[in-house]
């Protein structure tokens, strides 16, 4: 029992994590009515629970990609992932998104003693291209 508890406790050292990963390599591709993709974003928020109901640690959605977590609080929610995605849209100047997907994963360790839950949300951030300027016609005056 002691040997199986050590890896579980070591895993808690990495506790919950809120992470935003992205790529912005599009080489001038335009999509959906001339919008330009700015980035593909993946947001992940994970946390640990005791007996599938008592939160131990979870990612801090206020500080993604930082080595912070929230102790004894469940922040692993779809709402928090959407808020992190929304903040990333504002930071990058995106006007809308496409291909929004979200999924929930759950892994149980040591029967039901420890559970790791995670939400994964991804989307392509788009920026609307400016409308083309209307051609001006010159009136000929005589």
Summarize the chain as % helix, strand, coil (round to 5). Answer: 20, 45, 40
Q: What is the pLDDT of residues 56-100, one digit of tens each?
A: 999 999 999 888 889 999 999 999 999 999 999 999 999 999 999
Structure-block tokens of residue 24: 């912005």
CA dihedral 21, 16, 8, 119 (to 10 degrees): -60
Flag whether pLDDT at 14 surpasses 60. no
Number of helices (H), then strands (E), in the chain:
2, 6
Where do the domains of the chain lie? 2-64+72-127
- Read out DSSP for 114-127? EEEEEEEEEEEEEE
Length of the chain (residues)? 142
Q: What is the reported pTM? A: 0.77
Q: Is the pLDDT of residue 39 over 60?
A: yes
Place of tokens 């149980």: 108
């Amino acid at each position: 029992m002691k040997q199986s508890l050590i890896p579980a406790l070591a895993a808690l050292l990495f506790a919950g994590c809120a992470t935003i990963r992205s790529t912005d390599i599009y080489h001038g591709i335009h999509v959906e009515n001339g919008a330009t993709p700015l980035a593909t974003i993946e947001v992940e928020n994970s946390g640990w629970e005791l007996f599938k109901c008592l939160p131990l640690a979870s990612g801090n959605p206020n500080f993604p990609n930082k080595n912070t977590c929230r102790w004894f609080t469940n922040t692993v929610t779809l709402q928090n992932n959407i808020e992190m995605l929304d903040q990333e849209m504002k930071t990058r100047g995106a006007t809308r998104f496409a291909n929004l997907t979200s999924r929930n994963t759950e892994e149980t360790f040591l029967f039901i003693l420890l559970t790791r839950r995670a939400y994964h949300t991804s989307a392509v951030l788009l920026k609307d291209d400016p409308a083309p300027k209307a051609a001006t016609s010159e009136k000929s005056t005589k």
